[in-house]
Amino acid sequence: MYVARILYPVEVLGPGKRVGIWFCGCPRRCKGCSNPELWEFKESYSTSPEAVFDIINSLSMRHRIDGFTITGGEPMLQAKDLHKLIKRLVTISEDILVYTGYSINELLPEQLDGIAVLIDGEYIEALNNNCILRGSSNQKINILSQNIRRRYESYCDSETNSIQNFMTSDGIISVGIHKPGFINDLNSIITGKGIEKSNE
């Protein structure tokens, strides 16, 4: 499997302090994608469900984990490994939210096994109007686990989209639902501050 990032605590893509997991590889190339650097499969990101879980399990022994948010890239391109990982993650928290560009109707029941919340649908920049948890308004929040329904209904009623920045060894990673044109705005800020932009 190919996993580019594991970040904690992510507090802008679902309720609580979450582990964010970014798969890489996506053929869609959506205009305005917030993670174009994750479109390609890169051998440097090759790993296994067991290795990813070992990292997260170690983290769970020191920190509270309220849930998981899995995005990309396109996680469903690696459905078998995703399923293997989810089977392990539910031992820590059953709140597993997955983003996919596919429609829920395009996925097989076994691909949904263990997923508590699925946010489905292709990202369409023209429909990015700040919907909670969604990049564009055509996407749907599918609550598949009744155990967490109330939690997500409350979250969606009380929260607004926001951005969270993580400092990593590779630079700053901006997490959350970004507004249209954020890349241009970010590039302007970077240039204005005299910061060298990475081509990675």
User: Is residue 198 in some structural domain?
Assistant: no
User: Is residue 40 in some structural domain?
Assistant: yes
pLDDT band at 192 (very low <50, low <70, confident <90, very high): confident
Listed range (50-64, 99-113, 117-131, 163-177) with the worst mean pLDDT:
163-177
User: Is residue 106 in some structural domain?
Assistant: yes
User: Is residue 22 in some structural domain?
Assistant: yes
- The tens digit of pLDDT for each residue in 85-134 reads 999 999 999 999 999 999 999 999 999 999 999 999 999 999 999 999 99
Look at residue 194 in the predicted model and tell me its pLDDT: 73
pTM of the shown model:
0.90
pLDDT band at 178 (very low <50, low <70, confident <90, very high): confident
Measured CA angle at 23 (ends 77, 63), to 5 deg? 135
- The tens digit of pLDDT for each residue in 2-42 reads 999 999 999 999 999 999 999 999 999 999 888 999 999 99
User: Is residue 199 in some structural domain?
Assistant: no
* pLDDT at residue 185 tops 70: no
Look at residue 169 in the predicted model and tell me its pLDDT: 82
* pLDDT at residue 172 tops 70: yes
User: Is residue 20 in some structural domain?
Assistant: yes
- Domain of residue 21 covers 3-192
CA distance 41 to 121: 21
User: Is residue 200 in some structural domain?
Assistant: no
Structurally, the chain folds into a number of domains equal to: 1
User: Is residue 197 in some structural domain?
Assistant: no
